[in-house]
A and B are shown apart, each in its own frame.
Chain A
Amino acid sequence: MNEHQQTLWEFMQQQADKLGMQTLQHIGLTFISLFIAVLIGLPLGIYITRKKQFSGFVLGIAGILQTIPSIALLGFMIPVLGIGAKPAIVALLLYALLPIIRNTYTGITGVDAAVKEAAIAMGMNKWQVLFKVELPLAMPVILAGIRTATVINVGVATLASYIAAGGLGEFIFGGISLNNTNMILAGAIPAALLAIIFDFLLSLVQKLNFKKIKGAVRIAPVLLILLSGLYFIPSAYGGKLTAGFTPEFMGRQDGNLGLISKYGLKIHTIVISDAVMYKAAQEKELDVISGYSTDGRLKAYNLVVLDDDKKIFPPYYAAPVVREDALRKFPELEKTLNLLSGTINDSVMTELNYKTDYLHQTPERVAKDFLVAKKLFKPERGGNEGVVRIGSKIFGEQYILVSMYTMLIKGYTNYNVATKTGLGGTKIVFDAMTNDQIDVYPEYTGTGLLAILQAPTKTVTALQVSKDSTYNYVQKEFLKRYQIKWLKPIGFNNAYALMMRQKQANELHIKTISDLKGFLEKK
């Protein structure tokens, strides 16, 4: 059934253009931010050696900045700086600041007091003392800081793809979403190599003696600017409208690949994370986005779904998938999970998502309100006949479903529940399941078909006729290959969809994806 498995090398060759571009962007991002971080951090570090009373404050702030999770920091940047390179560079430079400021400070305060005193006593002014004595002697320590910052930046720059700034993260996160190991490695290996190479090169510079360091420090700014410039090479493109697609969408048959092959859609596309995509669309940073048809933000941000007139998006009916051995271990489980079946249609799910995503109600509360309204809610029994482990991917809808299942299991059976939510993308949660880390999680038929089973195009086309045929196919194959059972569908179809701002779509008279293509091709 499986077509010939592509090797990593074949993948990299096939994607060489993209890989090269991402690598250049990655190096560029790393060094632009590093360069700015040095421009800010070095003088700031020097300043706090002169005004020691500020040192605690400045180092404290820089330290706190570094403890902010990278994704969160990128998220904070969006409202202020939008998406793309700017916020990514700012976020990266904030991470790079601490090692640079701290090492400049320790390097300079660590200069032998007797040497400094000798310099002053011989009649050097404060600038001469700084440039002839303090900085040269602190240079190995400062370089160590820059080295640390570089390695941090190479790592964090992988996250830049979340906010459409490019870099090797596009492959890494695309691969995670698509369950495509080759794609992950095609991003991760170059990223790791970059870190190792830069670390090694800087370690060589650090080991130079004072004479040679002088020379190295002189060419450093030129080198930094050149490396920074790499970022701008790939971004010489433009267009009428800008699309923002998730890394996952970019690599999928039923995503961008299908848009290109079936619709012939050519649109200026940037890669962006689901978390910020909708907001960017609302703020007119993006015009067309890939989204989910039941996403609450659709309603919140006034977006419309373009009709998929050529039917490239297969149905994504949600259903719980359970390990067979778990079903044997917990005989009551299947019956209980199926209580939800048929209760949630598309508009109900959109509504529920809207409550969590936009009204910021907790998934628990939304789940409970819903179950109560449907008269499905029962108080906890406090049972202890084993623990059912429920997993979820890292988005709101899954959290709501997991909360519902938790309440149902605790209310209807004597089992207890352990949840492992936020397991990233499909690959992570599915690996957790096959490795017996979780017993059950909500999955979508389309994802099962394309991302997990990686069914060949022929099969996919054949199955796309009806929702039942896809469901039947994945159910059969999952049992056979993984001993995992699909329970009854919950009811809603969270399929991929292209969306635009309602207002813009009306103005441009775009209702279907074909309309969009037509508009783009109009001269």
Chain B
Amino acid sequence: MIKVEHLVKTFGTTKAVNDISFEVNEGENMVLLGTSGCGKTTTLKMLNRLIEPDSGKIAINGENILEQPPELLRRSIGYVLQNNGLFPHYTVAENIAIVPNLLKWDKAKTQNRINELLEKLHLTKDHLTAYPNELSGGQQQRIGLARALVADPPVLLMDEPFGALDNVTRSKIHGEFKALDELKRKTIIMVTHDVQEAFELADRIALMDKGKIVQIGSPADLLFNPVNSFVSSFLKEQRLQLEFKTIKLIDIWEHLPDSGKKINTSLLSAQLDVWEALENFKFYSKENLNIINRQNKEVKSTTFDQLMAAFSQYKNQQPHE
């Protein structure tokens, strides 16, 4: 879907992006992760030509974007910024309608689409006539997302979209983000320097340092097969939590005890990660969680201690750095 080859961008003497290549598949969520100043934003902005590369190639759907008129290109790419970049002089409705107006949609079509998005993003009609400064940060961010999604662009670029939110709001929006069907079909490139966020939302992560990609792969790849000590030390501080979030119950299925105690509580899917399973414990004594493996219709029941034991057995099997 998106193919980037040998991208270079220099500002004065700063090599902001230094020979970067990667591919993103259709419907994939690629996260650019790295410390401040490593070139994430620069890379992202070259994809919609807010920044012109010094050299290198960018193709979307096999077409060289550097040969397309930038305005037209941009109308087919959604863009979400950290500080949302909403127009303060436009109402919410007008903000969302910017791209439809540029595309000269008729009023009814725009209105229908806005209503549809409102519902999906848990906003009400009252919000439409408000100005951005009358909304909370979380609401503003959702409007920013609605604005980027309104024309249903196949590609979505997001630069630290949740960076300005507090932790509680952020994890709530993360949840909504993952659940939003609109996003499942989209090819997304998202920039963040928050490791947790990357692991939570990414299909694949490109870890960057000093204008280069150090490693590109799934969260588990980075966690269990780091290519060098930069990668492992980058993840070290939050390692345990990342592992909880990366390893799914299905991964440790064989290490879970096959106890037959199946109390009639609700069943958890084995597709959940360990972190999500842990969140389901209410922490009273001798509590059990029931997990169903939908592939073989097998149901297992586990206590907290048994889950932790299975988790560490699984980890011991993984290759060590």
Contacts and interface: CB of A to CB of B under 8 A. Distances in A.
Contact of B50 (A120, A124, A125): A120
B279 interface: no
A316 to B, nearest CB: 65
A125 B71 contact: yes
Nearest to A128: B102
Interface string B68-82: 000111110101011
A117 B102 contact: no
A213 to B, nearest CB: 8
Contacts of A112: 83, 85, 88
A114 B71 contact: no
Given A122-B75, A123-B71, A210 B89 contact: yes
Contacts of B292: none
Interface residues of B, number: 24
B31 interface: no
Contact of B86 (A115, A117, A123, A210): A115
Contact of B48 (A119, A121, A136): A121
B98 A122 contact: yes
Contacts of B73: 123
Most buried by A among B73, B99, B102: B102
Interface string A103-125: 00000000010110111111111
B87 interface: yes
B81 A114 contact: yes
A133 B87 contact: yes
Contacts of A210: 88-90, 131
A210 B132 CA distance: 13
Q: Is the interface of A mostly helix, strand, loop or mixed?
A: helix
B79 A121 contact: yes
A122 B87 CA distance: 12
Contacts of A124: 71, 98, 102
A453 B221 CA distance: 104
Contact of A119 (B77, B84, B87): B87
Nearest to B95: A118
A128 B84 CA distance: 19
Contacts of A117: 50, 81, 85
Contacts of B131: 210
B75 A137 contact: no
A40 B71 CA distance: 30
Nearest to A120: B50
Contacts of A119: 85, 87, 98
B50 A121 contact: yes
Contact of A136 (B71, B89, B99): B89
Nearest to B48: A121
A128 B77 CA distance: 18
21 contacts: A112-B83, A112-B88, A114-B81, A114-B85, A115-B88, A117-B50, A118-B85, A118-B87, A119-B87, A119-B98, A120-B50, A120-B74, A121-B50, A122-B99, A122-B102, A123-B99, A124-B71, A133-B87, A137-B88, A210-B89, A210-B90
Interface of B: 48, 50, 71-75, 77, 79, 81-90, 98-99, 102, 131, 147
In the A-B complex, the 9 residue pairs with the smallest Cβ-Cβ separation, listed nearest first, are: A118-B85, A123-B75, A210-B89, A123-B74, A121-B79, A114-B85, A123-B71, A114-B83, A136-B89
Given A112-B88, A121-B79, 5 more contacts: A114-B82, A118-B84, A118-B85, A122-B79, A123-B102
